[in-house]
Chain A
């Protein structure tokens, strides 16, 4: 085991000097995991996530991760994560598409177990018809699992948001899992400049004494504790215990907001908020929206942009306020459902000015030019 110089998350995320490198998203993620001082990693192959799983294996061999193995399928990998995280160690895993859905039972259980697992998901199409190309449709299925969800725009985000995820997840008053979601190949295999922190500085190790639920390690004996209050009526556990437990998980999500502000500078990135037309997007769609905004400005159309970094807890108040002035709000997405537009419409007063689109999926690219065309069409309509 390498002797590690450990630093606080505040230092690593907000203060440490950065060095420019050129790498793909999966490599950037591996760089984050290397610095995150992770204890246990369990993996299973699925495109386009497999590379990070291989890279974690290399990190393990090199001594940056303490234990690593390949599980037999995503359902059981995620169950192993529950076991490992319950013992009170720092964990990491990743999955994609059909793997996410195969793991839905544990995914719905993780937050209730109060496990600060950080799990990147590399989004792709889900059957039917099957597709390994980028898609953010999975986020829709994960929305109400109680987990915190970040949406990654670029390899740089993948590096930063993973470290931020550990910093936020492990806070004692949060202590629920974080999904760091990227839109598949657009991030995992795109090579870009990524600014990384020094590679000989590592996060302080996880301290299970700060967990709101005692770690499952038989270190404080005797103990009689049910980590999961199964209401089956005849074991005398009241509905109330179960209900308040669920509410506590949701409350933990809300309490994460102050740490999202501290470590991430808030859940949104806002450019030109007073514009007539606002593009609201998350993930790779935000990248396309940025460029569309520039093109539109050059053509004399007043366009602003809101990048939504955090999908859960959804920044309800901020989005509602931002939508007040604009005449037109467009929500481009890399999925068929238009889930982000639904989220935004639900919190905006006059939501007839919120348009879901363009929706691009099945792996197609969303050229910024297409976004600009849509803006022009809609402006003609609303004028």
Chain B
């Protein structure tokens, strides 16, 4: 890509990693999860726990961006706060819970600054950040119709702060602030998203990278033209749930039964026009479309 170039005179002093991103990065190449291993990724190290599925999910998301050269990410406090400096595109942390508000301002300003250019803005946070402290601004960004893709990594707890229950923890689970077991059910986050008028809502697990990658792509494309989109990645924090990495992976795999995709009619039409066929997930799941009434 021509825009991705080292400023003349600086070629010899830029570090190897930068050179690799310029020469072999994903910019302008329309790569996806199936190409992993053949290009320099936007993330290749992380300072999080061994076997962490948040990092796996992030890696899949970053490998699935339709236009990585024009994508920005807003994250928040938590394990994302720890990993965000490792991501090779503009990303930042917003005050906890405010990431969708921050992203709204960012997206609007980028539209003002570059009226003829598309900039994809993704907000990524955990279940605590989206469903508890961030529920209000997230919901408002949806009902305002902000063109954002919200990706929740739902590991069913506040992980970075040492394992407390969040609104997305299932009822009865014993964690650090629910010593007698959480006393209310898991928040129906995806249902809220549908109610708020999101154009595309999906749930996937990191154990099926191609499917998740396809959802990420669809979510971003729909958010460009139709309306806000949401993906909930159902997974587990193996450290705080006291599982080995393999046990954690298997638990995440067990969440595959929660996989689904929902399109509004307009979103479905839009995706059809791009993919040249009716959208179908790889698992041949029934695709939910908004009611005819």
Binding site for B on A (CB under 8 A): 39-40, 42, 66-67, 69, 71-73, 75-77, 79-89, 91, 105-106, 109, 208, 216-218, 221-230, 232, 234-237
Contacts and interface: CB of A to CB of B under 8 A. Distances in A.
Interface stretch (B20-28, B190-198, B281-289): B20-28
Contacts of A80: 101-102, 104-105, 108
Given A72-B137, A84-B109, A216 B92 contact: yes
A226 B73 CA distance: 12
A221 B94 contact: no
B265 interface: no
Contact of A85 (B95, B103, B109): B109
18 contacts: A40-B108, A67-B111, A69-B108, A72-B140, A73-B136, A79-B94, A87-B106, A88-B113, A105-B95, A106-B98, A216-B72, A217-B110, A218-B70, A221-B3, A222-B89, A223-B90, A226-B92, A230-B81
B18 interface: yes
B105 A42 contact: yes
B108 A76 contact: no
Contacts of A227: 92
B109 A67 contact: yes
Contacts of B83: 235
Contacts of B82: 230, 232, 234-235
B88 interface: yes
B92 A84 contact: no
Q: Is the interface of B mostly helix, strand, loop or mixed?
A: helix
A39 B113 contact: yes
Contacts of A87: 105-106, 109-110, 113
A203 B111 CA distance: 21
Interface in B1-22: 3-4, 17-18, 21-22
B93 A89 contact: no
B47 A222 contact: no
Contact of A84 (B72, B81, B106, B144): B106
Nearest to A222: B21
A222 B87 CA distance: 10
A228 to B, nearest CB: 6
A228 B81 CA distance: 10
A225 B113 contact: no
A166 B27 CA distance: 36
B74 interface: yes
Contacts of B108: 40, 67, 69, 80, 84
A76 B139 CA distance: 12
B71 interface: yes
Closest CB pairs A-B (n = 8)? A83-B105, A80-B105, A79-B98, A83-B106, A76-B101, A84-B105, A87-B109, A84-B109
B195 to A, nearest CB: 16
A88 B81 CA distance: 22
Given A39-B112, A232-B81, A217 B90 contact: yes
A230 B112 contact: no
B85 interface: yes
B73 to A, nearest CB: 10
Contacts of A216: 72, 90, 92, 106
Interface in B74-126: 74, 81-90, 92-95, 98, 101-114, 119
A371 B87 CA distance: 60
B289 to A, nearest CB: 29
Nearest to A66: B112
B69 interface: yes
